[in-house]
Structure 1
């Protein structure tokens, strides 16, 4: 051990602070650690490794080492794990990973924690992702599809029957229900808060949809005066109980050798555990995690069909357009909730709350850095459709649009000039669009601008249809060939739009027409 009780392979994968903390603790405990393998812990980027510990007093054993970093949760994973085990000791003995040793402080807010190897064997047990990969592979068989779907149903049904056990009703508004899925992310800087600052309208408009959709981002607004969709304050008798909070195929381990045996599954990564949260959130998070991994392989038509199947349940509209493994997977997940609640006559409530949980968890995926522009737009549409079916009332459908019906945003950084032009001249465009019967197209462009999408060509085509081509030749102050602005100026608050307006001490404060808010004063 050339690094103070850590072998070279382990030491080289840790930063200086973590290496010093672990090495010092190991010396005090009489332990030495050797790396067995590094592990990829989903999308979090956390440092996770399987290590062999040799303790002077207790001998050898294999453990999982993890550096617990600040994330989208209120308490460290070690604390949440202890809570989960204390709340359900019988379930924990069979299905929850066990912490080993006390946490080791790194000194910068991080902690090094150890867990037992789930199931006791890294060779026999593996993550559920392995079954997902087999079911979606080019040489997948019906047996692969059934094995994956059956494992998902087993885990979801067991977490409801054996962990939640008894559903409890908790009255809350639809907006509060959705916010429970987002949790602390609501108050932390990031993509979700950026979108909340720009997409402030109560309804969104997409080229692919002929009707307006409730804006799920508007449900996150905590300002009581904020514009919200009709029905956001309607009361839901939420079915609540114990939930994992981040259920996905990398956090579920099961016996894979010699053949899959999902009954003996184990759950890891309990940082988002809650003893009283909407019970539909785990099942829907697992659904959306699996879909997120495979969404780019679906055509625009299939993505729209998938939204209908997720929101409409067993109605079957569009299901035939989807790959068979997705249909089987979604059917089995839905059946898991129905099986558990049928004797309580609550399957209808489960379906209703599944839609709200689809909206809540879609917002979680929208906020993740790993979600690209195409997927982000799809999740926003999914959330809007789910809310449209969940909230008591929605406005009438907007007029049909003549824009392309399967628009997908570019993943690359979009041009922002068109957004500034739309913001500057939106009042004029609104009047012209109303006269031409094209208000729906303008609404769709506004939604795209609020989301920061690249619709420069579509905007130019729309303006020309209105006979307003001069707008495209007029430069907005602060960009292009327009008047350069320096010193103090009024600029975009959300970063989507490069529009700048000069400071006029005796004049009114310019307003952003996309956010319906004053443009803050900035300097350069």
Structure 2
């Protein structure tokens, strides 16, 4: 690929992807640009980098840019009102905003967001996700962000009225957005495991001593609890995707911060949504470092409130306490604390369900967050209607009754807008292989071709005895090759080799499966 404006273009391709680098090159030209550094971009598959752009003679010598590539099919959400953030925000809060400059649609490829950064001090700023949670100053900065987003950004918040007719179901869906629509990742998780069905009002979990309410029924069905009116909902300005990668902080002891990537901004969203998402996205990366006993304690701490953290790392206990303090003190003296506390807990449930749509199907975090959502729901004064119990162990559904051995029992049939079900046949796989084409070059083209094929590979039954014995091993090899080749950081040479091998395997499997 030829580049006119980007210096060291390979670094841009590694950081943002080849397609995004090409679009950025066209936007920058006839100026020039050099990659400063990659930035963490959360869990949505987006890529983020800081870039130095050098002007033409007579223009400013250096401009600092934040560039974000958002791929198609990433975190599902409707576009926000990014262009209105600056004008609609209180003047005192604008110091915490980085103005949106340009959004470039890339048909079929996602979009590129380019933000100009005021000043030239970006070198000393890092994403909150790059800071050590063990640092006391990092936790103080987290409290400062929560306080400021609620108080300084929303001095003119509004509350809903009885005549608005908002219900618990409405509130949860406001928090989850398009994730629970038929094409959403949370929807696919819920329907795959039957958790959206009204009859399964309770869950039986190996790690819990008692049955717990199924939070998905509040999102997908109408019953006594989901239809419960919810009054005095606090609405105001919200980022829309407030995770640690979207909060820049100076690398010093100050509590200053700047919000980036405001493409999902809304001026009328539940105020509890942003702060709960920031909190749980700070917690999530640390789950892999905890023992089973510590994960249990963390659920106790978040769901049941302040207590002795026991064997939990001190920084996690302090993070939970910092969230509770900063979120609750916002309404101190305003007489609405019970309503606000319930909204915080409902948003924690919604954000926990958001995590069930992330990662691969066997990621223990998905099940831990489902358990957290159920535990929090059990603390609210709701009496779930009578219904069946769906039981599951650490790795998946085990059916009604006591959970014994983890044994998967997903939904029996495919539904519109969902991935292929577990009952896909090997004839279905052959047809999917015939529709796929790995001959195209380009990382994004490869990812698009691989997405539906991976779902089909994951959901196909073992072949009957009359298929060649090589089929299962070749399918496993193709799946492994696709996953390794499709990694965002795969070097160009390895990617080109991988997609050629994937195309050969695809053709071989078509021959083996054709009778």
State the TM-score, normalized to the length of structure 1.
0.69
After TM superposition, the structure 1 = structure 2 runs for residues 21-420 of structure 1, keeping only pairs within 5 Å, are 21-27=23-29, 30-56=30-56, 57-60=58-61, 61-70=63-72, 71-76=74-79, 80-100=81-101, 102-108=102-108, 110-117=110-117, 120-133=120-133, 135=134, 144=135, 146-170=136-160, 172-189=166-183, 191-197=185-191, 198-199=194-195, 200=197, 201-221=200-220, 224=222, 230-237=224-231, 238-256=233-251, 259-262=252-255, 264-314=256-306, 316=307, 319-369=309-359, 373-394=363-384, 408-409=394-395
Q: How big is each residue's C-alpha offset from its partner over 1:416-446, in whole Å with a ceiling of 9 and x where there is no partner?
A: 9xx7xx7xxxxxxxxxxxxxxxx741xx469
Contact 1:62 1:117 in 2 (8 A): yes
Looking at structure 2, the residues matched to 148 and 370 of structure 1 have their Cα atoms a distance apart, in angstroms, of: 30
Looking at structure 2, the residues matched to 299 and 11 of structure 1 have their Cα atoms a distance apart, in angstroms, of: 38
Q: Corresponding residue for 1:509?
A: none
Looking at structure 1, the residues matched to 100 and 47 of structure 2 have their Cα atoms a distance apart, in angstroms, of: 16
Partner of 2:242, secondary structure, is coil
With over 3 angstroms needed to count, the CA separation of the structure-2 counterparts of 1:178 and 1:446, relative to structure 1, is: farther
With over 3 angstroms needed to count, the CA separation of the structure-2 counterparts of 1:25 and 1:182, relative to structure 1, is: same
Contact 1:341 1:347 in 2 (8 A): yes
- Which residues of structure 1 form unaligned runs of 5+? 136-143, 423-438, 453-477, 488-492, 501-523
With over 3 angstroms needed to count, the CA separation of the structure-2 counterparts of 1:11 and 1:327, relative to structure 1, is: closer
- Which residues of structure 2 form unaligned runs of 5+? 412-422, 429-455, 464-514
How many matched pairs?
409
Contact 2:128 2:249 in 1 (8 A): yes
**How far 1:387 moved relative to its partner?**
1.5
With over 3 angstroms needed to count, the CA separation of the structure-2 counterparts of 1:12 and 1:351, relative to structure 1, is: closer
Contact 1:43 1:370 in 2 (8 A): no
Looking at structure 2, the residues matched to 328 and 119 of structure 1 have their Cα atoms a distance apart, in angstroms, of: 34
Contact 1:25 1:104 in 2 (8 A): no
Partner of 1:203, secondary structure, is strand
Q: Which entry has the higher C-alpha Rg, 1 or 2?
A: 1
Looking at structure 1, the residues matched to 19 and 313 of structure 2 have their Cα atoms a distance apart, in angstroms, of: 48
Partner of 1:172, secondary structure, is coil
Q: How big is each residue's C-alpha offset from its partner over 1:433-478, in whole Å with a ceiling of 9 and x where there is no partner?
A: xxxxxx741xx469964569xxxxxxxxxxxxxxxxxxxxxxxxx9
**How far 1:374 moved relative to its partner?**
1.6
**How far 1:203 moved relative to its partner?**
1.6
With over 3 angstroms needed to count, the CA separation of the structure-2 counterparts of 1:121 and 1:18, relative to structure 1, is: same
Q: How big is each residue's C-alpha offset from its partner over 1:268-298, in whole Å with a ceiling of 9 and x where there is no partner?
A: 1223322222212222212211221111222
Partner of 2:33, secondary structure, is strand
Partner of 1:343, secondary structure, is coil
Contact 1:73 1:272 in 2 (8 A): no
Q: How big is each residue's C-alpha offset from its partner over 1:356-406, in whole Å with a ceiling of 9 and x where there is no partner?
A: 11110001111112685321111111111111222521479999x9x9xxx
Contact 1:67 1:110 in 2 (8 A): yes
With over 3 angstroms needed to count, the CA separation of the structure-2 counterparts of 1:47 and 1:298, relative to structure 1, is: closer
**How far 1:305 moved relative to its partner?**
2.1
Partner of 1:235, secondary structure, is coil
With over 3 angstroms needed to count, the CA separation of the structure-2 counterparts of 1:380 and 1:497, relative to structure 1, is: farther
Contact 2:426 2:460 in 1 (8 A): no
Contact 2:240 2:274 in 1 (8 A): yes
Looking at structure 2, the residues matched to 73 and 126 of structure 1 have their Cα atoms a distance apart, in angstroms, of: 26
Partner of 2:343, secondary structure, is helix
